[in-house]
Amino acid sequence: MSLRRDCSRHNAPVEATLRKNHGRRLFNREGKRGKGFMDHASSEDKGLSLNRREFIKGAMAGSAVLAAGLPAAMEGAERASTSSRPYAALRSLPAGAIQPQGWIRAHLEEQAKLTSAMADITYPFNYPYWEGMEDAKDWFQWEQRAYWIDGSVRLSLLLGDPSVMAKPRAAIDYTLNHPGANGFLGPQSLQFGAGSGGPNRWPNTVLFRALMALGDAQPAPEGIDGDAIADAMRKHYLNDDATYSNGGRNITNLEPLLWCYERTGDQRLLKMADKWWTDYINAATAAEAQLDKMGGEIRFHPYSDLAPSRVFSNTPAEGHGVSYAEQSKLPAILYLYTGREELVKYAVAAQRRILDYHMLIDGIPSSSEGLAGTSALDQHETCDISDYPWSWSYVLMASGDGIWGDHIERACFNAHPGVTRDDWKGIQYYSSPNQFIATLNSDHNHTKPGSRRMAYQPNPAQYIGCCAGNKHRSFPNYVLSMWMKTHDNGLAATLFGPSQVTAKVGAEGEEVEIVETTNYPFDEEIHFKIRTGKPIAFPLALRIPSWCDSPRIRVNDTSVDNVRPEKGFIVLHRHFKSGDVISLQLPMKVALSDWPNNGVGIERGPLVYALSIKPAWTSLAEAYYSSADFPTWEATPTSEWNYGLALDPAKVNSQVEVKRVSSPPDLTGNPWPWSSSPVSLSVPVRKIDGWGLRVDPENPKQKYTPPLPEPEHFNASETIERVSLVPYGAAKLRLSVFPKVKA
């Protein structure tokens, strides 16, 4: 197999060499200090002072390329047959093809308890949005419930448990069975904009992802007709006269629109998608030129700061974190159907800005709500834990570059568990690399200091319930991206974990089943067992993470020599027979990463390690938003955290002790393996005097996590101690970015 993209592989953009202090200081265009980001409801942002004039000319040229029309070959019949994403280097598999196994299945089963309970315990999930309700003063109730509907559908399909989908299914059936006179799927308040600031199509994108998953599912759930779903969506789009390229999230409908084209072959849909993107890029370019002329302060950047001049200059991004994730992936999706190389280059460049300037240690960019810096206290909204890996999966499919699998794993193995209680009974709205306290008034976000958004709750921002719904999409989407088809009828193991995949491969499309057995990322060994009726020749691609420099592969105990990954994959070309076992070993090394303000982090393989601060948990049930079974949780610290890391970067291997338990635990049925990891790290530290919780001088009861102490102002003990670090996901209160002290 040759993964067909020719985009250059990232030079480990998220690793230590790029961990510089590119923290957003929110300067306006004249270099003055701007005000901070506003919260979700007000959605305001201020930007960096940057001279952009030199990029405008290039932007116009880039816009012309990116907005180029469809190839002539695609201008043909009104309805044409299409192959599934014909230009994709990798293609996703339908729900049902991949079955979670081992600890991943146990983790999803535990999630299902909260997912299923949401409709009983908290607004807006217990209101009939998408089930006939028309009145609401805002659009985002439909967005929030649609997030939950999509997550429930995907989780149900993965677990083979229709009960998880029962309540969301009522909303789906109502929407499909009650189209508007022109075929519009959804409430009139979204269609016409009553009380919502104009027609809003973003919630449709969110709900339609659930329809896409159902339409593709194999076998189809009872009562689901994928062709009928695609035809209903086709009518919805062809008859809608809304504006989709005006700078908001309406443009994200390009994703379900192209799925609909893939299912129906209606060329009008492809032409429509291309026009939307053409108009969007042209408008973004014009808006950027106008902003440069105007100068002064800006709010959240129009068009999510995605003008070509900005994207290809690799500047920090100005915009809402979720909006950037959702819109920056769109050229990668459009590439899958058009094959225009410049679209892949654009998508990769757009993500490079995130990796270079905004990425936090846990694998998700700072985004609270706007994209920000990379300090130990910078936060991300939990929505981004679902949205960025989702976007990166499309870039992976378009580029064929395994580095995007690395980024997805880092986010899902660190940020995802880091915001979630071990029992799946509460999540955070905001979280940060260092968080020493998580209560209903400890949020250190500078736009709303003292808010409730860092406490662990079923719905952590209450009326703003986006994270409460979107969180349920995160890990199901990880599983759905674990295996992909290659363009030459092979299979690729794109993300790792215990699973089983069934797909048709080879020149004759014969069925093969592969069982993946592993405790990864808590172990280095991964085994793939082939099951097939007869020997089949097909390529099997295995992703080799960029952090692994000495992978080892065996086929039936015979070593494979000269393992040299190309764009993050090695490919085995052979006749596979039933019973064949391919073993992949990915040795994990301890590595340091540098962070702003004299900070340093410790990683091993895909996992970040942290000092777990022992929490004292208290709970309460809050009417309309939590319950006795799924309460609101607050965590206060009961152990010490005031340590600096006393490591010599040149002696990491000798100074950090990798400790393995003598009898590794069986993680097969463990829903939270982060807390039972067989590996911990013992590291040398020095205590730092006076580094305690930050106290509001006007309200001594108001306490926050403090920033890293300034090197010239702290006093570190002369005594070196050793402390044990655990995987980031095991630490609900944690120190993951340490101050550097003398080794």
Q: Which residues, in sequence order, are CB contacts of 592 under 8 Å at separation 6+?
A: 16, 600, 601, 602, 603, 647, 649, 652
pLDDT band at 297 (very low <50, low <70, confident <90, very high): low
Tokens read off for 44: 């305001």
Q: What is the mean pLDDT of residues 729-740?
A: 98
Long-range contacts of 507-512 (CB under 8 A, 24+ apart): 507/537, 510/534, 510/536, 512/536, 512/538, 512/576
d(CA 288, CA 314): 15
Structure letter (DSSP) for residue 358: T
pTM exceeds cut of 0.75: yes
402 has a pLDDT exceeding 90: yes
| Tens digit of each residue's pLDDT (9 = 90 or more) over 467-498 | 999 999 999 999 999 999 999 999 999 999 99
Percent helix, strand, coil in the chain, to 5, is 35, 20, 45
232 has a pLDDT exceeding 60: yes
Alpha helices in 465-516 (DSSP H): 466-480
Bridge partners of residue 529, in order along the sequence: 515, 581
d(CA 446, CA 466): 20
Mean pLDDT, the chain, rounded, equals 88
| pLDDT value of residue 66 | 55
Weakest-pLDDT range from 121-135, 155-169, 529-543, 570-584: 121-135
Helices then strands (H, E): number in the chain? 18, 27
Tokens read off for 98: 């991949």
d(CA 573, CA 569): 13
Among residues 361, 282, 354, 291, which one has the least CA distance to residue 321?
354
Residue 632: how many other CB atoms lie within 10 Å: 24
| pLDDT value of residue 247 | 84
pLDDT band at 45 (very low <50, low <70, confident <90, very high): very low
Residues in the chain, overall count: 743
pLDDT band at 634 (very low <50, low <70, confident <90, very high): very high
Weakest-pLDDT range from 125-139, 198-212, 547-561, 652-666: 125-139
pLDDT band at 424 (very low <50, low <70, confident <90, very high): very high
- Amino acid letter, 657: E
Cβ atoms 425, 110 nearer than 8 A: no
Is residue 174 classed as helix, strand or coil in its secondary structure?
helix
pLDDT band at 81 (very low <50, low <70, confident <90, very high): very low
| pLDDT value of residue 664 | 81
Weakest-pLDDT range from 40-54, 74-88, 248-262, 719-733: 40-54
pLDDT band at 34 (very low <50, low <70, confident <90, very high): very low
d(CA 473, CA 450): 28
| pLDDT value of residue 198 | 63
Task: Find the helix packing angle between 267-294 and 254-264, rounded to 10°.
Answer: 160
pLDDT band at 139 (very low <50, low <70, confident <90, very high): confident
218 has a pLDDT exceeding 60: yes
Q: What is the mean pLDDT of residues 666-687?
A: 96
